[in-house]
């Protein structure tokens, strides 16, 4: 790709700016402050989109036919026998394409709103149970000999924070010297530049204080440091949290899904099972829109449905 091109007027954009130039400008301008992981995600998916449409195509020549044909080609791959593309992967490609198309339109770089021709594909419904409670308890118990790992696990378990929010936590984001309960608040930065307040359990707070007391001296202000030799000045990478959990899984003989995001699913499911309003769960999870929370967690599991039914059903001859 070329260096980001200075975009001046809609007329100049339509006649002179290519899709490849627009792609570079999008990464340079729209994703300012985004994490390295987010940048890689968009570069990968948008790179495929741009190559498929044509990096030298002028924005003025971009039409709905280009987008419909691209979408249909992806759909055909999900329906092939055997499929060469999963619905989730297609969903990611389309999400990325919609993001840049929305930016182009909002920035007046294209005249027509083309989003309606790039609809998000429907994903199969999934029951996001999250990590089992017995697995959570086993892993927490196994961290007793490692104060850093224990603080990470208990913080993640009680806050529902994304792994990026945990790994990017800085010393100034903590309030450990405040009076209770304010000392159990922290500011996490997730999805690049989005900051939000989270609330940790007393056990997580105590584990965090214990870790901070033995935290190695470091030039880094990240709370959680890399424990490998000569790496104490490096903050923990998001992927290192996955690797940490995987190590405990292997040591304990645990099978099944146990990723950091599954811990987040468990966090929300437990809140909703305790009748927490969906709008409150949305805020605790850091979802921008309550529809996101509802679409992921709004459908109860079968067991939960039966529990609700048994608790509320009254036979015809009851006095209620």
CATH number at residue 80: 1.10.150.130
The fraction of the chain above a pLDDT of 90, given in percent, is 62
What is the arithmetic mean of pLDDT over 37-54? 93
Residue 67 inside a domain? The answer is yes
Residues 195, 267 share a domain:
yes
Residues 289, 151 share a domain:
yes
Domain end residue (candidates: 86, 117, 148):
117
The answer to whether 230 touches 224, Cβ cutoff 8 Å, is no
Residues 102, 14 share a domain:
yes
What is the arithmetic mean of pLDDT over 188-207? 91
Residue 309 inside a domain? The answer is no
Cross-strand bridge partners of residue 222? 170
Residues 152, 14 share a domain:
no
pLDDT tens figures, 72-87: 999 999 999 999 999 9
- The pLDDT, as a whole number, for residue 10 is 47
What is the arithmetic mean of pLDDT over 38-58? 94
CATH of the domain at 278: 1.10.443.10
Residue 315 inside a domain? The answer is no
Residues 294, 178 share a domain:
yes
Residues 231, 274 share a domain:
yes
Residue 91 inside a domain? The answer is yes
pLDDT tens figures, 103-115: 999 998 998 899 9
- The pLDDT, as a whole number, for residue 303 is 66
34 or 1, which is more confident? Answer: 34
Residues 232, 89 share a domain:
no
Residue 126 inside a domain? The answer is no
Residue 320 inside a domain? The answer is no
The fraction of the chain above a pLDDT of 70, given in percent, is 90
Residues 270, 166 share a domain:
yes
Predicted confidence band of residue 231 (pLDDT cuts 50, 70, 90): confident
* Mean pLDDT, the chain, whole residue set: 88
The range of the structural domain enclosing residue 32 comes to 10-117
Residues 167, 285 share a domain:
yes
- The pLDDT, as a whole number, for residue 202 is 96
Residue 54 inside a domain? The answer is yes
Residue 2 has pLDDT above 60, yes or no: no
pLDDT tens figures, 120-162: 988 776 656 789 999 999 999 999 999 999 999 999 999 999 9
Residue 46 inside a domain? The answer is yes
Residue 14 has pLDDT above 70, yes or no: no
Residues 99, 16 share a domain:
yes
- The pLDDT, as a whole number, for residue 11 is 44
Residues 274, 140 share a domain:
yes
- The tally of domains found in the chain comes to 2
Residues 57, 30 share a domain:
yes
- The pLDDT, as a whole number, for residue 277 is 85
The answer to whether 176 touches 207, Cβ cutoff 8 Å, is no
283 or 315, which is more confident? Answer: 283
Domain end residue (candidates: 84, 117, 150):
117
Residue 297 has pLDDT above 80, yes or no: no
């Amino acid at each position: 790709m070329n260096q980001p091109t200075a975009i001046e007027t809609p007329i100049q954009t339509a006649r002179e700016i290519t899709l490849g130039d627009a792609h570079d400008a999008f990464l340079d301008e729209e994703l300012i402050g985004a994490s390295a992981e987010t940048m890689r995600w968009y570069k990968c998916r948008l790179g495929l989109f741009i190559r498929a449409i044509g990096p030298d195509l002028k924005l003025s020549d971009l039409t709905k036919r280009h987008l419909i044909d691209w979408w249909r080609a992806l759909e055909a791959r999900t329906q092939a026998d055997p499929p060469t593309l999963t619905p989730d992967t297609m969903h990611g490609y389309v999400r990325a394409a919609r993001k840049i198309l929305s930016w182009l339109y909002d920035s007046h770089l294209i005249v027509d709103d083309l989003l309606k021709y790039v609809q998000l594909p429907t994903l199969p419904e999934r029951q996001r149970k999250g990590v089992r409670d017995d697995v959570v308890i086993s892993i927490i118990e196994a961290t007793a000999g490692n104060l850093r790992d224990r603080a990470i696990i208990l913080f993640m378990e009680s806050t529902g924070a994304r792994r990026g929010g945990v790994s990017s936590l800085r010393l100034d984001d903590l309030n450990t010297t405040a009076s209770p309960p304010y000392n159990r608040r922290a500011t996490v930065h997730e999805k690049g530049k989005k900051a939000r307040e989270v609330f940790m359990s007393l056990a997580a707070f105590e584990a965090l204080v214990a870790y901070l007391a033995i935290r190695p001296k470091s030039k880094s202000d990240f709370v959680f440091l890399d424990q490998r030799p000569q790496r104490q000045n490096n903050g923990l990478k998001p992927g290192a949290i996955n690797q940490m959990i995987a190590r405990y899984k292997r040591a304990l003989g645990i099978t099944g899904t146990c990723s950091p995001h599954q811990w987040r699913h468990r966090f929300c499911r437990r809140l909703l099972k305790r009748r927490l309003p969906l709008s409150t769960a949305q805020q605790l999870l850091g979802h921008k829109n309550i529809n996101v929370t509802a679409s992921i967690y709004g459908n109860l599991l079968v067991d939960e449905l039966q529990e609700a039914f048994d608790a509320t059903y009254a036979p015809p001859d009851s006095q209620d």
